[in-house]
């Protein structure tokens, strides 16, 4: 479970870096890119996922499972609200 949530967290970090790069490049070249709100939501989600993954990696079994499930919930919420809607 921790390995899966760790992979999801790593994916969120990469996705956030891509979104930030698209925003910067879009601004420099004058084409529309992700807005400030989208970038902010990605950054908030990554910070939450990193905290939850740390909890999953360094706590007892019950808290570890809750941390892993929290990472999956954060990732699902981010994808649902920022990508699929």
1: burial class by Cβ within 10 Å (0-12, 13-18, 19+)? middle
What's the pLDDT band for 30 if we cut at 50, 70, 90? confident
> What is the per-residue pLDDT across 34-82, written as a single tens digit (0 to 9) for each?
989 999 999 999 999 999 999 999 988 899 999 999 999 999 999 999 9
Does this model's pTM top 0.75? yes
Residue 1 and residue 83: Cα distance in Å, rounded?
Answer: 25
- Nearest-Å Rg of the Cα atoms of the chain is 14
Residue 72 and residue 85: Cα distance in Å, rounded?
Answer: 18
């Amino acid at each position: 479970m921790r390995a899966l949530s760790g992979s999801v967290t790593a994916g969120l970090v990469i996705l956030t870096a891509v979104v930030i790069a698209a925003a910067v490049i879009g601004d420099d070249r004058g084409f529309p890119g992700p807005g400030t709100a989208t970038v902010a939501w990605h950054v908030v989600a990554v910070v939450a996922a990193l905290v939850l993954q740390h909890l999953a990696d360094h706590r007892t079994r019950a808290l570890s499972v809750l941390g892993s499930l929290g990472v999956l919930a954060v990732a699902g919420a981010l994808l649902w609200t920022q990508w699929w809607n």
